[in-house]
Structure 1
Amino acid sequence: MAVSKFSDVDEYGFKREPDFDYQSYENIMSSYYTVLTTRSIKWTKFLKTGNILGDPRKLKRFVRKGIPGPMREEVWMKSSGAAWMQQKDPTLYQTLLRYEYDQEIADQIKIDLPRTFPDNIHFDEYKLGLYNVLITYAHHNKSVGYCQGLNYIAGLILIVTKNEESTFWLLKVLVENIVPMYHTKKMVNLITDIDVLSELIRIRVPDVHRHIADLGLPWAVIATKWFICVYAEVVPTETALRIWDCVFLEGNKVLLRVGISIVVGLRREILATDDISALIGLFRTLESNTTLMDCHRFMKSVFKIPGTLKRAQIDALRKQIYEQRKTSKLKDS
């Protein structure tokens, strides 16, 4: 049996599963390394211009092709608007660190810290920083406070940036501007967007939508973790980060594109399942799926497979679903 040249720990410190498909990974990476080298050279030149926001078309094209790891913090901060927010209130994070914290919130965060990326060999060194980010944000935005899911988002941002303050601002712009009301108690927009995803899949791949409905698996079971964690802890790490590259620039529409692309990519496997447990198992093993492991090819599919997906269409669907839910509640009351 051939020995893989790859470690059993990935570049971000996550341990690979015992049944990890090293051969497929090696085949994928043999071409992806060339992509990374090319993109790094081009990004270095682009960043030297000093104003990547001044050329939005080029920025979108570059982001969709992937941001090199060492440049992600700078590009995420600028493309998402987090850098602008920080400039408006540069002392906010340090001020929040001096607050007296609610003990119940602090205790809940401390309980979740050991559960956050236990398979990451470096994560012990990030735990204090993650606690600081989560507790300060909980007290800064009391309508959100702290909920499970934020630890995975902030944790992965921290692994990338290795900077508490940048992590705080990126978490803030994500939760408040990009996926607003996903992490509040009622999760209004999260619930709505799960229904939007279901409807978009019904339109694009009706046989898959019908099969999932026939097996009785609610879309909330499938997609809640996808959206609330922004695909962290759902897909391979580099694929999640490539998704985030686009989410920080283009917004939550990307989450729907990714969801559709996953379902279309798994169409044969989904239709081959004959019971709900097999279907759940399929969706729970996306981290080891070789299609999703090939992040560069997958991200190309994200902007092709769903076809035209205009924001106006999404907003109209959201409004329609929200109104239907409101009407349904009135009838039930």
Structure 2
Amino acid sequence: YLVGGGQNHSNISGGGGQNHSNISGGGGSEPHVQGYKSQNKFLNKEILELTILLRNAESRERSLEVKYVALEAKLCQVESKYLVLLQDLKSPVCSSSEQSPAREVISRLLEDALDNTDPAEHAVFKPHPVSEYDVFGFRTVPEEDDEEEKLVAKVRALDLRSLSLTDPEVSVGVKWENYLSSTMNRDMVHCPELKALMRSGVPHVHRSKVWRWCISYHTRMFRDNLAPNYYETLLGVARDKPNPASKQIELDLLRTLPNNKHYSSPGADGIQKLRNVLLAFSWRNPDIGYCQGLNRLAAIALLYLDQEDAFWCLITIVEVFMPQDYYTKTLLGSQVDQRVFKDLLSEKLPRLHAHFDLYKVDSSLITFNWFLVLFVDSVNSDLLFKIWDAFLYEGPKIIFRFALALFKYKEEEFLKLQDSMAIFKYLRYFTITILDWRKLMSIAFVDMNPFPLRQIQNRRTFHLEKVRLELTELEAIRQTFLRERDTHTDAGPLCSDDEEDN
């Protein structure tokens, strides 16, 4: 088509040149017009044909991309099952004979599964390569030499990869692109459309922008009355003056997210930023100073935000979202939320609540940390950031929704366990086995409804009075004990019964 078009163009050009000379000579206007009409018809036909070809090519390309993604997802699923099968076969097959030929085969398969640095070196089929770190910087496979743990981690990584390839991320991404393009010349506003998008998860490429808007929205009541350089000024003061929180901050820096490359060593790029954010926050909030847990919140925020925005993210969580005394030494607000959660667990999941009561299992031993650090180190990283997306938009009600959803997701597995030690052991790791974020989101935002915020606020008020009363009673007992101890001390040194008899 293009070659033919070029030939016709030169013919037309020649005709056009001849007509031009006619026109300049004062005649031939009719042939001139007819020539251009013919040229337009031809070019329009060319454009239509090329458009059809382009559309067909784009359609075939999209179709091939869909097939490729589906095949890659299937490959991940097959390789995941291959690794599981390999782990199951390893002991039974090899135990029959130390010199069995199967032992060598299984060993080679196991070696290949764990080491895929250079596929050309091995004749055995190589599994799908699993990156050492995920997109957020978290280590996907443990550093330990335990082969079983490495295999389990690889299986989980492959399953996550498979889910990411088969989920509706593309349609979600298109919806976000359309929404953000519509707000290009105006600020984002709270609305049902944005709420639905936040609940579906923010694409990685847009998360920094969306989180900044959420934080700005929730903290504008503070920031409107402060100087633009408030954070830098605060940080400068915190560095120059003695800070009682600085010692504990230094101790906790490398303990924050040791499985994330941005915080895994003293020279990692996130350590100094984390130090600055925590120091500035401790100076702004002397009643809190520093509480273990704040380091993890700030570290997660810094993965998508600069220092100043991460500082305001911490303000959003501690001063806007969470009740008073949530991160103080008494952890009063945190204790109250655990009682509220147990009430909700008995209402939303009565069978599981009764099961825990029967075996005297206290779920708060696990859930306390969920609430304090917003599921950091409790769920896989992809799910963690989707929870944070909804949390930064809607607030603390999201924590209750997802805490209940996690238990609902694995309720049947818990009910099968008939021993308190087995239940507690499962409590410690069951959240890491949850990979299907779509199912979890459906449980959290559909199955848990209705979920009125007023109910949570009323329960908080009720339990706050009870906890305060209990703390008052404990303080009275403590004071009585101290008085009695001081009385015995004044009466003379304490001695044993034998000494008294002598």
Q: TM-score, normalised by structure 1?
A: 0.91
Q: Kindly indicate whether residue 308 of structure 2 is the aligned counterpart of residue 165 of structure 1.
A: yes
Q: Kindly indicate whether residue 190 of structure 2 is the aligned counterpart of residue 45 of structure 1.
A: no
The one of 117, 120, 135 aligned to 1:11 = 135
* Aligned-pair CA distance for 1:169: 0.6
Q: In 2, Cα distance between the equivalents of 1:91 and 1:218?
A: 46
Quick one: structure 1 residues 237 and 43, their matched pair in 2 at CA, closer, same or farther if it must change by over 3 Å?
farther
The alignment yields a C-alpha RMSD, in angstroms, of 2.2
- Residue number in structure 1 paired with 2:200: 65
After superposition, the C-alpha distances for 1:158-194 in whole angstroms (9 at most, x for unaligned) are 0122x10110011111111111332111222211111
Q: Kindly indicate whether residue 465 of structure 2 is the aligned counterpart of residue 323 of structure 1.
A: yes
- Residue number in structure 2 paired with 1:310: 452
* Aligned-pair CA distance for 1:141: 0.7
Quick one: structure 1 residues 146 and 35, their matched pair in 2 at CA, closer, same or farther if it must change by over 3 Å?
farther
- Residue number in structure 2 paired with 1:149: 293
Q: In 2, Cα distance between the equivalents of 1:46 and 1:145?
A: 42
The one of 360, 381, 384 aligned to 1:240 = 384
Q: In 1, Cα distance between the equivalents of 2:436 and 2:178?
A: 21
The answer as to whether partners of 2:408 and 2:443 remain within 8 angstroms in 1 is no
* Aligned-pair CA distance for 1:147: 0.8
- Which amino acid counterpart does residue 248 of structure 2 have in structure 1? Q
Query: Map of 1:217-232 to 2, 5 A cutoff?
Result: 217-232=361-376
The one of 27, 33, 38 aligned to 2:162 = 27
Q: Percent identity?
A: 24
After superposition, the C-alpha distances for 1:184-224 in whole angstroms (9 at most, x for unaligned) are 11222211111111111111211211211222222320211
- Which amino acid counterpart does residue 414 of structure 2 have in structure 1? I
The one of 306, 310, 319 aligned to 1:176 = 319
- Residue number in structure 1 paired with 2:349: 205
Q: In 2, Cα distance between the equivalents of 1:175 and 1:182?
A: 7
* Aligned-pair CA distance for 1:295: 2.4
Q: In 2, Cα distance between the equivalents of 1:43 and 1:69?
A: 15
- Residue number in structure 1 paired with 2:246: 106
- Which amino acid counterpart does residue 14 of structure 1 have in structure 2? F
- Which amino acid counterpart does residue 230 of structure 2 have in structure 1? L
Corresponding residue SS for 1:304: helix
* Aligned-pair CA distance for 1:283: 2.6
Q: How many residues align?
A: 329
Q: Could you tell me which runs of 5 or more consecutive residues in structure 2 were left unpaired when the two chains were aligned.
A: 1-81, 83-125, 142-149, 477-502
Quick one: structure 1 residues 93 and 327, their matched pair in 2 at CA, closer, same or farther if it must change by over 3 Å?
closer
Q: TM-score, normalised by structure 2?
A: 0.62
The answer as to whether partners of 1:12 and 1:159 remain within 8 angstroms in 2 is yes
Query: Map of 1:83-102 to 2, 5 A cutoff?
Result: 84=220, 85-89=222-226, 90-99=228-237, 100-102=240-242
Quick one: structure 1 residues 176 and 103, their matched pair in 2 at CA, closer, same or farther if it must change by over 3 Å?
closer
Q: In 2, Cα distance between the equivalents of 1:200 and 1:112?
A: 33
Q: In 2, Cα distance between the equivalents of 1:330 and 1:40?
A: 51
* Aligned-pair CA distance for 1:114: 0.9
* Aligned-pair CA distance for 1:276: 3.3
Q: In 2, Cα distance between the equivalents of 1:122 and 1:65?
A: 27
* Aligned-pair CA distance for 1:282: 2.1
- Residue number in structure 2 paired with 1:133: 277
Q: In 1, Cα distance between the equivalents of 2:205 and 2:225?
A: 25
Corresponding residue SS for 2:344: helix
The one of 256, 260, 263 aligned to 2:400 = 256
Quick one: structure 1 residues 303 and 179, their matched pair in 2 at CA, closer, same or farther if it must change by over 3 Å?
same
Q: Kindly indicate whether residue 258 of structure 2 is the aligned counterpart of residue 118 of structure 1.
A: yes
Corresponding residue SS for 2:446: coil
Corresponding residue SS for 1:11: coil
After superposition, the C-alpha distances for 1:66-109 in whole angstroms (9 at most, x for unaligned) are 11223223322322425624454222110011112435421211
- Residue number in structure 2 paired with 1:185: 329
* Aligned-pair CA distance for 1:23: 3.6
Deviates further, 137-146 or 36-45: 36-45
Q: In 1, Cα distance between the equivalents of 2:269 and 2:471?
A: 47
- Which amino acid counterpart does residue 330 of structure 2 have in structure 1? K
Q: In 1, Cα distance between the equivalents of 2:431 and 2:347?
A: 26
Q: In 1, Cα distance between the equivalents of 2:292 and 2:471?
A: 27
Corresponding residue SS for 1:52: coil
Quick one: structure 1 residues 122 and 330, their matched pair in 2 at CA, closer, same or farther if it must change by over 3 Å?
closer
Deviates further, 58-67 or 3-12: 3-12
The answer as to whether partners of 1:197 and 1:256 remain within 8 angstroms in 2 is yes
Q: Could you tell me which runs of 5 or more consecutive residues in structure 1 were left unpaired when the two chains were aligned.
A: none
* Aligned-pair CA distance for 1:40: 4.1
* Aligned-pair CA distance for 1:26: 2.7
* Aligned-pair CA distance for 1:43: 4.2
Deviates further, 99-108 or 217-226: 99-108
